[in-house]
Amino acid sequence: MSTATATPSSTATTAAVPGDARITLRGHLRHTGALVRRNLLWIRQDPESMFDALLMPVVFTLLFVYVFGGSIGQALGGGQDQYVQYVIPGMVAMMSMTLSQGVGTGFSEDFNKGVMDRFRSLPIGRGSVLFAKITVELGRMLFATAVLMIVAVLVGFDITSWPGLFATVGLSALFASSIMWVFLTLGVVLKNAQSVQAMGFLVLFPLQFGSSIFAPTQSMPGWLQHFTDYNPLSTLADAARGLMIGGPVAHDLWVTVGWSVVITAVMAPVAIHKFRTKN
């Protein structure tokens, strides 16, 4: 009798232990690798999902260089060539933010299709699902950045510092990974991918255009200049310019790193908690 009584109690106690507590770091890494492979195979079966990473850098580069390049370039003291040197580092920063919302919409779609319910029923680390999503989206961002730089060279961008270019890509990836935690949280909390996309637009639009990505901020109204001073995309874009074409770097670099660390420290636990507790 005592054995029969103890067995259900022991089973209940074991079930109450969080799955992640019984998984080693090596296990988490193995699970993350398997899920990364699953996501890459999905992209292979659905290559249209890479169209945004392929076409967005081309469209934005051609649009801003040939539509706004002449007038803004004159304001910079040059012409279109001067604007190319100004806007391309900013667009590297923009890619980190724009493509980050894809992780939230994809996460929401997986929830609505029941994929995440299947994952949560398996003996895998819950954080592995989220880290795998971020890893694949960072790969998409790096692909988009490579396309952007090819187009940039074709329109006249001069890469003056290859180490600076690689440092810019690394800084952009760091910032992108922090923003992805925000969109992962939205992907869990909001009901569908359309809601995540709409919310992402409301977040991205003022941050991108209320920054120094596309134009200098000196001619903006005073209240908007104060906003751009605290906008992490402005510091990321300015750090990218300093690294890629020369200029002050230290202040904007450390501010961007600080933003990335704070956003990750706040939003990563929230995203993991929401994922674990979502019904």
pTM for the complete prediction? 0.84
Q: Are 40 and 136 in contact (CB under 8 A)?
A: yes
Alpha carbons within 13 angstroms on the beta-carbon side of residue 214 total 21
Q: Is 153 inside any structural domain? A: yes
Residue 1 domain-assigned? Answer: no
Q: How many domains does the chain have?
A: 1
Is residue 63, in this structure, part of any structural domain at all? Answer: yes
Q: Note the pLDDT tens digit of each residue in 195-224.
A: 888 888 888 888 888 898 998 888 888 888
Domain with 94 in it: 25-277
19 domain-assigned? no
Distance (Å, whole) CA 104 – CA 196: 6
For the segment 76-93, what is each residue's pLDDT rounded down to a tens digit? 777 888 899 999 999 998
d(CA 172, CA 94): 9
Look at residue 30 and tell me whether its pLDDT is greater than 60. Answer: yes
The answer as to whether 9 is a domain residue is no
Q: Which of 99, 184, 109, 165 is nearest to 138 (CA)?
A: 99
Q: What is the pLDDT of residue 257?
A: 95
Flag whether 235 is in a domain.
Answer: yes
- Asked if the structure places residue 4 within a domain, the reply is no
8 A C-beta contact, residue 247 and residue 161: no
What string of H, E and C letters represents the secondary structure of the chain? CHHHHHHHHHHHHHHHCCHHHHCCHHHHHHHHHHHHHHHHHHHHHCHHHHHHHHHHHHHHHHHHHHHHHHHHHHHCCCCHHHHHHHHHHHHHHHHHHHCCHHHHHHHHHHHHCCHHHHHHHCCCCHHHHHHHHHHHHHHHHHHHHHHHHHHHHHCCCCCCCHHHHHHHHHHHHHHHHHHHHHHHHHHHHCCCHHHHHHHHHHHHHHHHHCCCCCCCCCCCCHHHHHHHHHCHHHHHHHHHHHHHHCCCCHHHHHHHHHHHHHHHHHHHHHHHHHHHHCC
**In this structure, how many other beta carbons lie within 10 angstroms of the beta carbon of residue 162?**
9
For residue 137, tell me if it sits in a domain: yes
Lowest mean pLDDT of 70-79, 140-149, 157-166, 181-190, name the range: 70-79
Which position has the token pair 């029941």? Answer: 114
- Mean of the pLDDT values across residues 61-88? 86
Write the CB contacts of 130 (distance below 8 Å, at least 6 apart in sequence): 184, 271, 272, 275
Residue 116, pLDDT score:
75
